Structure 1
Amino acid sequence: MTLTPAPTVTLLHGAEMPRLGLGTSPMDDDAAEAAVATAIELGYRLVDTAENYGNERGVGRGLKASGVPRDELFVTTKFNKRWHGVELAAEACERSADRLGLDYVDLLLVHWPNPQQDRYVQAWQGLVRLLEGGRVRAIGTSNFKPAHLERIIAETGVVPDVNQIQLSPTVTRESARAYHARHGIVTQSWSPIGGQRNDVLRAPAVVELAERHGRTPAQVVLRWHLELGLTAVPKSSDPVRLGQNLDVFDFSLSADEVASLSALDQGDAAGADSDAFGH
């Protein structure tokens, strides 16, 4: 079974990014290789990895095994705090591209702001230089709060294409989403269906909508992200679930249905705090 690839969104700096892709944490190289190859065969065109996942080589092997031309794929990776510096960010990019076996990365993200270290502005300056040099097609941040974004924009004049944050019906991040919308930053949800515990998928509101629409709970939650104008990178290595997760573009949720899922929000405190955590 091959599904229609996800529609794309145009990023600030011109790249076209699929609205839904494959997340690969916490897969090892072998699992990532298999999942990526399967996902691309099913119709996925966006694959998300990171230095910290330790699976970039496996992701690269999966990309190559798929046989799909490089220019039809969108590959995201992220670097850790040890590379927070103008020249260091360039080295991080080279190392990731080498592990992935790619000539370029589509989207490179600062994985966490690590404000205690206070070098995320320099990391962002390094990304701006990589973008200007054509080494990457898009640049962004991950787990940045509006205050972190405000600072890098003020100090460089360059707005991120994407901010990837933990976001689901139980952690809706309304203030962050509003900030992104005002600045043209695309919000990308990690752990979009609620993470390992999957409490979101067992919520009565989700189960009820799944039954109403004849869909799985995960499909309903992913559709909620799309209705809000978000992009998402759900992770799975199961071929059946991989197919289900991509098969969410032929139904819709009403405004009331979206609101019923948003009402599950437990506030930002229910998610990771990037002022206190990072790597």
Structure 2
Amino acid sequence: MTSTTTVPAVALRGGTSIPQLGFGVFKVPDGEAAQVVSLALDAGYRSIDTAAAYGNEAGVGAGIAASGLPRDEVFVTSKLWIDMMAREAVRPAFEQSLERLGLDRLDLYLIHWPVPGAGRFVEAWEELVALREAGLVREVGVSNFTAEHLDALVAATGVTPAVNQVELHPAFSQRALRAHHRELGIATEAWSPLGQGTVLGDPVLSAIADAHGVTPAQVVLRWHLQAGTVAIPKSVTPERIAANLDVLGFELSAEQVAAIDGLDQVDGRIGPDPEEFAG
């Protein structure tokens, strides 16, 4: 089993760091979340990513509490949903997430989607920054923001997000956006890091997996690590939960990384387009 001490971390703005491999709970029912989170923490994960919209914060919090781990050893992320982006709604939404999780603070809080047509993400961001300044959350960031959304946010507020969590996998590698993140000092976090399984049957990944004696999923997660990306794979299967963390014992060659990079597709997006998504 992978030791938590060897899982690399990515430094965030302001001195906080986030484990580079975390555990996602998207579509995990609240009634199952406590058990699944407990399995993940037992396997060695120390970062749990949830959201108000997932409807499972209570279960996630129960799993964290049942682990018996010190609070400082578990990095907890949640997200502000799009119906709570008005200035006066942000603090209550945040406090409701804390209550459901059974926590007195978060490690990372994100705006879940920009919804640019609503014109709310700047005021929502200002309120997230206020939460950080009040000591209620260690760091704040965004999710599903494009380069244009990020630039607008920074121009309006002068405050750069610590993280942008976006869809990112070999078929949709977001190279231009990742380069923009590097210019701004924003950490890239990948949701659906395995492309919801759609890329795992590719012969390129199978050949690399065979060469290392690992699975295609482990190859993809190793690709994320070597790119400096934070990844939050999700599984409810104990064997896969453990396997997704066990990616530290091999290294991809430059040629193998290039081959995986070559799987990028113009139409590789699986989830919604941030320019269009409005809930």
- Superposition TM-score tier, normalisation by shorter sequence: over 0.9
Residue in 2 aligned with 1:127? 128
2:2–2:246 contact (8 Å) kept in structure 1: no
Cα distance change, pair 100–187 in 1 and its aligned pair in 2 (3 A): same
Residue in 1 aligned with 2:78? 77
- Deviation per CA, 1:145-175, whole angstroms, max 9, x where unpaired? 0000001111111111100000000000011
CA distance in structure 1 between the partners assigned to 2:266 and 2:123 by the alignment: 30
1:9–1:18 contact (8 Å) kept in structure 2: yes
1:172–1:267 contact (8 Å) kept in structure 2: no
CA distance in structure 2 between the partners assigned to 1:4 and 1:91 by the alignment: 34
- The alpha-carbon deviation at position 269 of structure 1 amounts to 5.8
CA distance in structure 2 between the partners assigned to 1:161 and 1:244 by the alignment: 28
The percentage of counterpart residues that share the same residue type is 48
Residue in 2 aligned with 1:12? 13
Q: Secondary structure at the match of 1:116?
A: helix
Amino acid at match of 2:192: S
TM-score (norm. length: structure 2)? 0.96
Q: Secondary structure at the match of 1:98?
A: helix
- Deviation per CA, 1:213-262, whole angstroms, max 9, x where unpaired? 00011100000111111110000011110111111112111111111011
CA distance in structure 2 between the partners assigned to 1:224 and 1:14 by the alignment: 25
Runs of at least 4 residues of structure 1 off by over 4 A? none
List gaps (5 residues or longer) in structure 2.
none
TM-score (norm. length: structure 1)? 0.96
Cα distance change, pair 30–94 in 1 and its aligned pair in 2 (3 A): same
Query: How many aligned positions are there?
Result: 277
Amino acid at match of 1:3: S
1:2–1:41 contact (8 Å) kept in structure 2: no
CA distance in structure 2 between the partners assigned to 1:156 and 1:268 by the alignment: 33
Residue in 2 aligned with 1:226? 225
Residue in 2 aligned with 1:248? 247
Report the RMSD for the aligned CA atoms in angstroms.
1.2
- The alpha-carbon deviation at position 126 of structure 1 amounts to 0.6
Residue in 1 aligned with 2:201? 202
1:88–1:126 contact (8 Å) kept in structure 2: no
- Deviation per CA, 1:159-216, whole angstroms, max 9, x where unpaired? 1110000000000001110100111100000000011xx1211000011111000001
1:85–1:126 contact (8 Å) kept in structure 2: no
Amino acid at match of 1:161: A
Q: Secondary structure at the match of 2:251?
A: coil
- Deviation per CA, 1:40-97, whole angstroms, max 9, x where unpaired? 1111000000011100000000000111010111000011111113332111110100
CA distance in structure 2 between the partners assigned to 1:269 and 1:207 by the alignment: 19
List gaps (5 residues or longer) in structure 1.
none
Amino acid at match of 1:31: E
Residue in 1 aligned with 2:277? 277
In the TM superposition, 1:32-111 aligns within 5 A as 32-111=33-112
CA distance in structure 2 between the partners assigned to 1:268 and 1:141 by the alignment: 23
CA distance in structure 2 between the partners assigned to 1:147 and 1:21 by the alignment: 27
CA distance in structure 2 between the partners assigned to 1:176 and 1:8 by the alignment: 21
